Amino acid sequence: MLSSYWDSVCIFLGINILLGISLYIPMVCGLISLGQGGFMAIGAYVAVMLTKAGAPFVVALVAGALVAAVAGLIVGAPALRIRGIYVMILTLGFGEIVRVFFLNFEPTGGASGLGGIPPLTELWQIVLSCVLAYLLVWRIRQLRFGRAMIAIHDDDLAAEAMGINLTRTKLMSFSLGAFIAGIAGGFYAHYALFIDANQFDFSRSAMTFLYVVLGGTVNPFGPVLGAAIVTLLPEVLRVVQDWRMTVFGTLLILIAIWRPDGILRTAGFRK
């Protein structure tokens, strides 16, 4: 069927889609995180510690994601009281703290990284997770929780006056995003077979941000599209492969100037 090379591309595509969705969820609420790399790192390291200790893959994945979700609650709490830009800075700082932490944490390898990870990730698992994650987001948007998130994004004063608990909704969305990023981290670690702190640095978070900004923040398919374009473009255009960041950086600037709402500007799948 698919050659091993394209298997690899698809797996990375799936991981990036999960990351994109993980950022999309808090952004629906208006919380912009530049620290998804940090949650991914937590999910990765925790999952690896567990699989190395003999735990089944699913358990390790979920456990890693749960720890990331708790981190999401901790990081999200101060984010409740501050405005948008500050949330970006806060999450950026969080991502860096996680990176510096794992760079120095000897039990998980410190600066030399962590190797010998069992190769447990398979394509079908990633495809399944992506489908589930997308359905989750799509369905939530149609329901009460989704409406509450959108209401908070557009006008949180009015949202609160309508009976929406800002704290609970925002924390839940932030934490859910962190959970999914943790799952992505777990998958990544058990495919790359070697991880170190610098693989989850700011450029990881910035790329995740790019997926969502490119694809659009209104439509749940946006982050999927954005991740697909950014992951597959280097495969198609050689120049993109060599000058990846330059191309995507320029892309970000162009999007910011001409199409700040992203490619998919309408909700489309709205009921």
Partner 1 sequence: MFIQQLANGVMLGSTYALVAIGYTLVFGVLRLLHLAHGEVFMVGAFAGLQVVLWWHFGPFVALIAGLVVAALLGMVLEVVAFRPIRKRGNSHLAPIVSTIGAGLVLQEVMTKVFGAEQTPFPSDLGKIAYDLGFIHVTGSQVFILAVAIVSMAVLHFFVTYTRYGMAMRAASENLQVAAILGVNVDNVVLVTFAVASALGGIAGVLVGLNFNAISPYMGLEMGIKGMAVMLIGGLGSIYGAMVGGLILGIVEVLSVAYLASSLRDAFAFGLMILILIVRPRGLFQVGIRAER
Partner 2 sequence: MSAFLRVEGVNRRFGGYLALNDVSCEVARGHVHALIGPNGAGKTTLFNVISGVLRPTAGRIFLDGRDYTGLRPDGVSRLGVARNFQQVRLVRQLSAVENVMIGCHAGIYRGVAGNLAEFFGLGGAEKAAREKSREMLAFVGMAGKAEVPVDQLTLVDQRRLEVARALASEPSLLLLDEPAAGMNPTELDELKTLIQAIRDRGITIVLVEHHMRLVMSIADRITVLSAGTVIASGTPSEVRQDAAVISAYLGTA
Q: Which stretches of the chain bind partner 1, using CB under 8 A?
A: 32, 78, 81-86, 88-90, 92-94, 96-97, 100-101, 103-104, 156, 202-203, 206, 209-210, 213, 243-246, 248-253, 255-257, 260-261
147 binds partner 2 (CB under 8 A): yes
From the list 19-27, 148-156, 198-206, 246-254, the region that binds partner 2 by CB under 8 A is: 148-156
Cβ of residue 127: shortest distance to partner 1, in angstroms?
29
Q: How far is CA 2 from CA 5, 8, 9, 107, 165, in A?
A: 8, 10, 10, 38, 48
Q: Which does 103 bind (CB under 5 to 8 A by kind): partner 2, partner 1, none?
A: partner 1
At residue 150, what is the residue type? I
Binding to partner 2 (CB under 8 A): which residues in 210-249? 218
Return the number of the residue (238 or 271) whose C-beta is nearest partner 1. Answer: 238
Cβ of residue 210: shortest distance to partner 2, in angstroms?
22
Q: How far is CA 136 from the centre of its chain?
A: 15
Burial class (CB in 10 A: 0-12, 13-18, 19+), 122: middle
Cβ of residue 198: shortest distance to partner 2, in angstroms?
38
Cβ 48 vs Cβ 63: under 8 Å? no
Q: Which does 158 bind (CB under 5 to 8 A by kind): partner 2, partner 1, none?
A: partner 2
263 binds partner 2 (CB under 8 A): no
110: left (phi over 0), alpha (psi -120 to 50) or beta: left
Cβ 195 vs Cβ 118: under 8 Å? no
Residue 114 in 3-state DSSP? strand
From the list 42-50, 141-149, 203-211, 222-230, the region that binds partner 2 by CB under 8 A is: 141-149
Return the number of the residue (53 or 161) whose C-beta is nearest partner 2. Answer: 161
DSSP-assigned beta bridge partners for residue 114: 195
144 binds partner 2 (CB under 8 A): yes
182: left (phi over 0), alpha (psi -120 to 50) or beta: alpha
Cβ 48 vs Cβ 114: under 8 Å? yes
Cβ 29 vs Cβ 149: under 8 Å? yes
Q: Look up residue 164 and give its DSSP letter.
A: -
Return the number of the residue (120 or 213) whose C-beta is nearest partner 1. Answer: 213
Phi, psi of 3 (to 5 degrees): -70, 165
- Which residue among 143, 253, 254, 256 contacts partner 2 (CB under 8 A)? 143
Cβ of residue 194: shortest distance to partner 1, in angstroms?
19
Q: Which does 187 bind (CB under 5 to 8 A by kind): partner 1, partner 2, none?
A: none
Binding stretches for partner 2 (CB under 8 A): 139-140, 143-145, 147-148, 150-151, 153-155, 157-166, 218, 267, 270
